Structure formats: C-alpha cells, structure tokens
Structure 1
Amino acid sequence: MSDERLLSERNPLPTAIPERLRAQLNFLVEVDKLKTVLRQSPLAAVERRENDAEHCWHLAMMVPVLAEYSDEPIDVGRTIQLVVVHDLIEIYAGDTPLYDAEAGHDQEARERAAADRLFPLLPADQAEHFRALWDEFEQRRTPEARFAKAMDRLQPFLLNWMARGGTWQAPGVTVDDVRRRKSVIGDASSSLWSAAREMIDEGVRRGWMRPSA
C-alpha cells in the first residue's frame, strides 16, 4: 500500500505550466509507483520477481501478437488500453496473489477504493475515460475486456512454465486450482485455452504441479 503523499509533491512542477498539462504530468509521475509493486510471478530472463509495470508492458505486447486467436473480433488499440490501465490501481491497493484466497477476500473493495483515489488525479474527461476502461476490464462484458483478461491470466502462466512451476508450487495449490483460475482464457480464446490445457497436463507429468487431492 502506498502512503498518502503524491510523488509530485516531492518536487512540484512549475505553476506556469497550464493546469491541465500539470495534472496529466503529475498523474504520470504518480503511476511511476507501479514499477515498485512486486508480483509473485518469476521472470523468464533472470531469477527475480516481475513488477507490475513489467507485467503491463508484457500484456501490451501480447495483445497485438495473439489477437488473431480471439474468438471474437477485437479492437486491438482499445484492448491495449485496457491492459495498460487495469493494474494501475495496485500502486495503492497492492498486488493480490492469484492463489492466495485469504488475501483476495477484500480485493474488490481495496481496488475500487484505489480507483476512486487514482483516476481523479487526471483532468475530469480523462479521469472518466480511464475509470471507464478500468471498469470495462473488471466487468468483462466486451470482447476486448475478455481478451484483455485472458492475456492477464496467460502472461504469468507462461512465466510459471518457464520457471518449471513458479507459483504453481505455492503451498496448497493443485492442478485443479490452476485450471480453475486460468479457465477465463477460454472465455476469449478457445485456441489459447487449448494450448494452456496442454501445458497444464504436461506440467503435471513433469511434476511442476500437484495433482488433484
């Protein structure tokens, strides 16, 4: 959880800068905090955990690369907006590990409170637009939001595969938990979910996941 102080307060921008631009720049400074929020997923390239900014960049790369596998036509540009906005609230709410049920019990309330705090830092029209993007991702009512969510679940899945288990080996996690948590991939792409299921089955054979109880 971040403290109440905005990063821009450490070194305020000149007041001669127009108010709208100053608000936008202050927002961009504030979301630099995303680089400090560590996730549970391991990186593929080096032995450390990824941060939220790295996660969002990877999702933004995955969307245009994998868009052809969406079961429904999607607006790639809008989907990229969804994936780069969806985790910004974690600079205040923190990351909630996927397989930690206890940490997830108040996740929705924490994240909504963070959205209420973060997006109003922008000028009103942009605050409304960014909040609408965040709500669209959470609600998954559009093809773009469903595909964005699929990328959000597929990205750490790939990293865990490269780590030969990663967070799949957290205490108490079984293959059934992985299948259940990753099944939303299939809401957007039958092809990607089929590939993920193949990887899950192979992960069990290699001993990277615990079998069902």
Structure 2
Amino acid sequence: MSTPDGNLRARLVAVGVDLLSREGTRALSLREIARQAGVSHGAPRRYFPTHQALLAAIAREGYHQLGQQVAELIGGEPGDPYAQLLALGRLYLDFARTNRGMFELMFRHDLLRGNGIGLREASQGLFGVLVDLVARARAEAADGRPPAVTAGALWANLHGIAELWQWGSLQTTVRTADVEPLLRAALDAHLGPAKTPAPEPPHAGRY
C-alpha cells in the first residue's frame, strides 16, 4: 500500500504530530499512526526501524517549531540580554502550556540518546542560544562559573516551573495565578537583578 503523496516517511511524521496534538503521547503507537496514515501496521518499519525512532522524528518537529519561534523572537539584534532571556522564558513556558504532548515528548531521555534522527543536535542548538544569552547577561560575573553551567541551571528551573505549573502544584503551593513573578525570580536567582526594569508582557497575569 502507498500513500497518495508518495512520501510515506513525511506523512507518518505529520500524522504523528497531529495525533500528538489531539490525543497526547499515549496515542502514539506504531499501529495507530500507521492506521491514521492509511498504511499497513508494518509500513513504518521501512523508514523507522524502531518505535522510538519514529517518536524521535515527531519530537524533532517540536524542536523545529520552537526553534523558529525563538529565532523570530531573538532575531539578529543584540538587544538587552536580560530582556531577551525574559522573553525567551515566557516563550518556553507558553510553548509548554500550548503544546503539552509535544513538550513531554521532546524531553524524553530515551529519545535524546540517538536513533539517528538528530534530536540531540536539535536540543543542543536551542541550548546554545540560551548559553549565548547567559554569557552576555553575565559578562561581568566574578564567580568564574561557565555560562553553560548557569544556563543549564536556569533551563532546569524554567522546565520545573513549566511542569509544576501544568500540574497545578505551583498555583496551589505558592498561591499565585500569575507565572511571571516566578519567571523573574528564576532569572534573578541565576543572573542577578536586571540593570534596568524589563517591561511587563501584554498578557501579564494570564498563563
């Protein structure tokens, strides 16, 4: 059996992305993806030797989408690194909120190990953007800590906020309906306070 467009590999990934957005990660079985793509359940093996390889290809689409949004946000202008990190943090938290299934899939450790899909490289590319911004924001830091270490700690902090906020834990424990103060506190903890106050987002209070 063949697909109408003759591009089975791309179709399987596209079907997986759509299925993920509608039904979450639990729906991403090889059989279900093949069924919705209109092919036999063994057809995906022609392009993806394992189930994990297909999942990694689907997750890579999430990195591509997030990467495009980051590129549009940061652009080519240097700008104020703290303000750019604040905007990047908002984007990351919003992506996690609006793409819950994809966000979960993108950071599965078993998919980041390889599979020949390039998922690890996609992840490292985005992390590199964060490291560069942190290096600029901490240009005068005297603690001697490598920017990658600070960026890793900040990323872990943002990822934790995203996960705990989605579970409802932070809203209940911290008793806040606004994630913005948590984001700013994370940046201040790792970078120090901003030299000039960063503007509030247009949607402040809504997350």
TM-score range, shorter chain: 0.3 to 0.5
Query: Highest CA radius of gyration, 1 or 2?
Result: 2
TM-score (norm 1): 0.34
